[in-house]
Amino acid sequence: MKTEVILTTNIVGLGAESDHVKVAAGYARNYLLPQRLAIPLTQGNKRQIEALKQRRAEREAHEFNSMSELAKGVAKLICIVQVKTGEDGKMFGSVTAGTIADHLKQQFEISLEKRKIHLEHPIRTLGEHDVELRLHHDVTATLKVRVESTTPLPPPAEAPAEGRREDRSDRHDRRGRRGEVRPDEGAEKAGAAKGEKTEKEERKPRAPRSEPSARGERRPKAEAKAPKAEKTEKTDKAE
């Protein structure tokens, strides 16, 4: 069974002030009327409709002004959401409208209903994302949400190995360079050795010709001529 009531306040999903709505009789009797969220539709209560419409206009104007100011401030903010990830950088779970609303409250003390945070699908990747905020039916804003990982990335294992290989190659190159002999350097060393050898030969004293050689003793020429002289003397004596 339905009954008609006049709403005295804005109720999401049902209506706003001064709206005539039909609701279940039990819902009106047990909730709306005791909480003074609505009044019964009678001839006497119809006179309050104009006052309720005035109150509604004032409320909506205030909401529009406050949401417009909020939209300007939110455009300058970056809401940081930290999540856990695996070693491959993939997130555990996702970031929802409720998550963003909680972080706005914690970081900037901005109370925003999650139904005003419009996400086509939950955020499942790291980085910055533009999220649309539907603050009022005439006011929208864009909030930057940065999703960061709380899991530290492991240090690259290849970097130290490459460094050691490079060090070894550098040492090998340096050793090779030490052992290398430049062509001009080799020529210089050869010339220097030849010059030293020549100097040694010049400095070495020459043996006299009259001295006997190592192979056999040889008499000097003067001694070889002596027997001829003796022979001549004997010939003269014989004559």
Q: What is the pLDDT of residue 132?
A: 95
Does 6 have pLDDT greater than 80?
Answer: yes
Q: How many helices (H) and strands (E) does the chain have?
A: 6, 7
> To the nearest whole percent, how much of the chain has pLDDT over 70?
63
Q: What is the pLDDT of residue 147?
A: 94
Could you give all domains of the chain from N- to C-terminal order, each with its CATH number?
Answer: 2-69 (3.40.5.10), 75-149 (3.10.430.100)
* Digit-coded pLDDT (tens) for 215-227: 444 554 444 444 4
Q: What is the pLDDT of residue 45?
A: 76
| Amino acid letter for position 25 | A
What's CA 69's distance to the chain center, in Å? 37
Q: Cβ distance 18 to 58 under 8 Å?
A: no
Does 58 have pLDDT greater than 50?
Answer: yes
Here the tokens at position 173 are 């190159």
